[in-house]
Amino acid sequence: MRLTRRDFVKYTGFGAASLLGMSFLGCMTKETTKDTLIIGYAEDLKLRGDPAKIDRSIPKFCVLERLIEYDLSSDDFVPSLAKKWNVENGGKRIVFELKKGILFSDGIEVDANTVKFTYDILVVKKHSVAPGSVEVIDDHTVAFNFDEAWVLNFAKLQDVHGLGVMSPKSVKPEGDPNGTLVDLIGTGPFKVIEYVENQYTVLEPNRYWFERTGLEPKIKKLIVKVIPDEDTRVMALRSGEVDVLIDNYHGGYDYTPRNQLSELKKEGFKILAKNIPYTWIVVFNYKKEPFNDVEMRWAVNYAINRDEIAKIFDGWVRPAWDGMFPPEAPGMVEASIRYGYDPEKAKEIVSGKDVGEIKLIVDKSQSDQVLVAQLIQQQLKNVGLSVKLETLEKGVYKQKRNSGDYNLRIYYIGGSERTFYMRIFWRFLPPEKPWKVYMSNNVTEKAMAVVKEFDKTKRRQKFIEFYKALYEEAGVAPLYYEVVAVAEKPNVEGIKFEYSEPRFYSTYVKA
């Protein structure tokens, strides 16, 4: 057969087009292999700049470890890098003995000087949760001095906006607490290999951590990709570009929308949800009418059907009928608190009062809370309260909150396990601040007693008294108990929660 010039052009053109097409499709091939786990995450990990600002959950639990951790189930502070400790000077001084032979991923051993370096980052910056001073006693003993004799000091050490013990080489100039973070080096299960700001971070197993724990890493790489938009994040999971979505639950932002979890589950994705001592509440402006009246605060509590609110999230959260924190919180079950739904009683209270229009404010960047606020508006209307709902930009919300220009607002108390104690401090204890949720002589005294008490048994009793005092004064209206959620592809195995955080050291992706 004779090949004409026309045929030649036709066949070579077709061949070239096919090659081009194949190479195009080739570059679209998904990069997930069984050696790599790709996580979709809402925020950049902030691994450069100020080392005191590492507040993202991933570096917190993948790269760093702390001296101690907090176990909510037993209400104990438990050893991590510290082997044991002594409380001295009536509670104002805590002396930690460090475990020996623990290495940072750069091979440097953790000693008292490296611990001092880490916490001096907070001291020199006069961070609000910084200890007063840090002293090196010997190579493996370090002492922290605080201004107050509070058990809360332990909480400060295990959650200082995520700061964990880091190698002095993490900053430049090396070992300078005022230095700039250039390469986060911790003792945790993973080490940072590559960081491209606002795009992705690549981590690899830290062999020293695995040698120490006797475990074998099952993945070679952990890639964290930054996807700020929540809908895009969910689509990236659906398209297979990421294997896992995890929440960044600092302050109620940047998590997988709760009302998408059921849909994902139906589509075959696995959803892991861990209950945490984190409660969404209605905050009353108790400094002015009508909610300076305890009866009116009760009326709101009676009017809210918490089951309906939990339904918004397809049952992924629990309605907060049993007190300000979920039953896992210390002393919560023993406190035997029960908020009732009694719209008739609420109507009765409201009918006897001259209440004008009530202003309910909500931060519109928290899309879930806007839905909750709309439902509350309706529920309060049903008992005769006229509610003007203001869905506000975050800054405006804060300004109104700070100036007291509201009657009700949607907010949260508690947090992950490691923030549990700190949030009691941040929400209920003096000094008076706009972000405190309720303070009265009785409630504040009871809350103060909790954070001061070192003895666990006595502290539990004080917790109960605190919960009851808050309940009796209807200081807040709890709505629902939050969870931390992980949405993962069906072929991802081995993610487990430790405390409130998903851990990846045993994770693998089936081919």
Residues lying near other proteins in the complex (CB under 8 A) are found at 25, 27-28, 30, 48-50, 52-53, 55, 125, 127-129, 161, 180, 197-200, 225-229, 231-232, 235-236, 238-241, 365, 394-396, 398-399, 402, 426, 431, 433, 435
Give residues with Cβ within 8 angstroms of 12, minimum separation 6.
Answer: none
Query: Which of residues 102 and 410 has its CB atom nearest to other proteins in the complex?
Result: 410
In angstroms, rounded to a whole number, what is the distance separating the alpha carbons of residues 129 and 157? 9
Q: Any idea what DSSP says for residue 59?
A: I
DSSP lists the bridge partners of residue 143 as 95, 135
Least Cβ distance, residue 463 to other proteins (angstroms): 24
**CA 334 from centre of chain:** 26
In this structure, which amino acid lies at residue 123?
V
Least Cβ distance, residue 174 to other proteins (angstroms): 18
Q: From start to end of 80-148, where are the E strands?
A: 82-88, 93-98, 133-138, 141-145
Residue with tokens 């309940």: 471
Query: Which of residues 42 and 95 has its CB atom nearest to other proteins in the complex?
Result: 42
Tell which residue, 259, 260, 257, 281, has the closest CA to residue 366: 257
Least Cβ distance, residue 431 to other proteins (angstroms): 8
Query: Which of residues 250 and 297 has its CB atom nearest to other proteins in the complex?
Result: 250
CB neighbours of residue 511 within 10 Å: 8
Least Cβ distance, residue 30 to other proteins (angstroms): 8
For residues 437 and 283, the answer to whether their CB atoms sit within 8 Å is: yes
For residues 162 and 55, the answer to whether their CB atoms sit within 8 Å is: yes
Least Cβ distance, residue 242 to other proteins (angstroms): 9
Q: 343-351 and 294-303 helices cross at what angle (nearest 10)? A: 150
For residues 187 and 206, the answer to whether their CB atoms sit within 8 Å is: yes
Least Cβ distance, residue 1 to other proteins (angstroms): 37
Cis? peptide before 173, omega within 30° of 0: yes
Query: Which of residues 236 and 261 has its CB atom nearest to other proteins in the complex?
Result: 236
Query: Which of residues 234 and 304 has its CB atom nearest to other proteins in the complex?
Result: 234
Least Cβ distance, residue 40 to other proteins (angstroms): 8
Least Cβ distance, residue 139 to other proteins (angstroms): 32
Query: Which of residues 83 and 127 has its CB atom nearest to other proteins in the complex?
Result: 127
Query: Which of residues 129 and 486 has its CB atom nearest to other proteins in the complex?
Result: 129
Biggest distance spanned by C-alpha atoms of the chain: 102
Query: Which of residues 305 and 391 has its CB atom nearest to other proteins in the complex?
Result: 391
